[in-house]
Amino acid sequence: MTDREHEILKLVKQNPMISQQELADHLGIARSSVAVHISNLMKKGEIRGKGYVIGGEQYVVVIGGLTRDIGGKPFSNLIMEDSNPGTVKTTMGGVGRNIAHNMSLMGIETKMLTAIGDDNVGKTIKNHSPHEKLDFSDVLAVRGQETATYLYIADQNGDMVSAIADMRVFDFISPDYIESKKSLISNAKAVVLDANIPTETMLKLTEIYDGPIFVDPVSTEKGRKLKTFLKYIHTLKPNKMEAEMLSGVSIVDEKTLKEAADILLNAGVKRVFISLGRDGVYAASHNKTIKAPIMPVKLANVTGGGDCFMAGLVYSYLNDLTLEETVKFSLAASAMAVEGEQTINEDITVEKILARAGIQ
């Protein structure tokens, strides 16, 4: 949708019986122009029928990684090249999957597109969603492949010592797979990507979807493919190192931070939120910038904050929050995520996030 169509749709949601002349007067444009926008919105399925009834199921599509995470931690000092008594835990992860799960906790109907193996893990994933608003029915199960697995060993303090990531199945998130889901994708309110998917698949998406695309670079290595994709991105959420890689600017102070963000915006990104770790977040659009500190937290895990922050960005967009409110909401969501024992904090609700953020 265009910016003007977004404006009109927002007004229609507020007053479904509003006339085209009233819309024109409110927006300061000709009634004939409103008629064209209304026609386009009807063609896109955003509104329909008498009184501009809002059309269809509203949902977001997430295209990205889903993994099985297996982690081992010794009871005492880790002894290299030896067997260590300790604990082994298996959880479900992946950047895309974690974002999708957090979005579902925020009440967003979410449909996941990814590739898994036809192993027992994949079959379990396909048939058992962790939340009623998270739909795995369109996930691709690839015959003869193993579900992506991240295997790591931590030391006695919980810090990772080494890991192996088997992500080969993600190569099957192909342009043909995306094409087969064209109807599902084209009717989404937003699409979220993580950089686990192949470059050609990202480009295919732009042929069938003209709505807002939210992107998480995942890592500096995987995020390199985004350099030629920036003009298609609505909202980008890199960390400091990823922002440096994508902009070509070494971020050492406020001036270079702004310079990096400006380069990304000038490349076509509409909004960028640069995570600065303990120094908070730098948010920039084409008409405003905000630097905000992280919220005080009782840290219980260090892995869930970024994915929940991205989910917060999507929720904020869908609910027309301002840039300042978006930052507050997403930081509050991130804070709540890292206070949970697991990567996904099942206690998260929109009401709790809004209260934590101080948004009325």
Split the chain (360 residues) into runs of 10 and give each run's mean pLDDT: 85 81 92 84 68 68 95 95 95 94 96 96 85 92 95 89 94 97 94 96 96 96 96 98 98 98 98 96 97 93 90 96 97 96 92 93
Residue 131 in tokens? 């939340």
**What's the pLDDT at 324?**
97
Both tokens of residue 166?
Answer: 């088997």
The SS3 call for residue 186 is helix
Class of domain 60-65+93-147+166-357: alpha beta
Q: How far apart are CA 31 and CA 52, in angstroms?
A: 16
Q: What is the pTM of this model?
A: 0.82
What is the pLDDT, as a whole number, of residue 32?
A: 83
Of the candidates 295, 45, 3, which has an alpha carbon nearest to the alpha carbon of residue 189? 45
CATH tag, 3-54: 1.10.10
Q: How far is CA 13 from the centre of its chain?
A: 25
Distances (CA, A) of 128 to 67, 124, 131, 146, 179: 15, 6, 9, 18, 25
Intervals of CATH 1.10.10 along the chain: 3-54
Q: What is the DSSP letter of 239?
A: B
Q: What is the pLDDT at residue 203? A: 96
